Amino acid sequence: MKRVLVAYDGSQQADAALDHALAEFSDAELHVLCVLDPAEATYASTEEMPAVADGWYDEATEEAERILAEAEERAGDRELVTAHVVGRPGHSIVEYAEEHDVDQVVTGSHGRTGVARLLLGSVAETIVRRSPVPVTVVR
C-alpha cells in the first residue's frame, strides 16, 4: 500500500493539499503532519523569550491537535494517520517522510498568513529540494 504524507497547518493551501491527496490517492495510507515551529513563538509575541518558551509548547500542541481534528473532519470517513512534531517545518516534514517510509509528499505552496506565510513559502521549496520521494505542491 502506498503511503502519502500531507503537510498540514490548517491554511487554505493545506486544505487544498489534503483535498488533492484524498482525491488522487484513494487507496493510500494518508499521514497528515502538523509541525510545531518554535520560531513562531518569537514572531507572534512581544514578551521576553523565557515567558514565551514556558507556555509555548502546550499552546502549540493544543493548536496542532485542533488543526489535525479539522483535517480528520475534512477527510470524512477516510482514516488518517495524524501526528505533530516540533522543529523547522521543511526539515521536519522531510525527516518524517524518511522515517515513515513515505512514497509521496503533498504540500500547499504557502501556509499561514503574516510573517509565518513569508517563511512557509520557503517550506515548500525546502521539501521539494530535500525530499527523497516525489513531492506534489498544490496551489
pLDDT band at residue 114 under the 50/70/90 scheme: very low
pLDDT band at residue 104 under the 50/70/90 scheme: very high
Please, are residues 4 and 21 in contact by the beta-carbon 8 Å criterion? yes
pLDDT in tens, 4-51: 999 999 999 999 999 999 999 999 999 999 999 998 776 555 555 555
pLDDT of residue 73: 98
pLDDT of residue 2: 97
pLDDT of residue 39: 86
Average pLDDT over residues 91-113: 90
CATH code: domain of residue 128: 3.40.50.620
Q: Considering the chain, what is the average pLDDT of its residues?
A: 88
- Does pLDDT of 115 surpass 60? no
What is the Cα gyration radius of the chain? 15
- Between CA 4 and CA 74 the distance in angstroms is 16
- Residue 95 sits in which domain range? 3-138
Who has greater pLDDT, 78 or 40?
78
- Between CA 10 and CA 67 the distance in angstroms is 6
**What backbone torsions phi and psi does residue 48 show, to the nearest 5 degrees?**
-70, 150
Which of 40-44, 71-75, 83-87 shows the lowest mean pLDDT across its residues? 40-44
Dmax (CA) for the chain in angstroms is 48
pLDDT band at residue 120 under the 50/70/90 scheme: very low
Question: How many domains in the chain?
Answer: 1
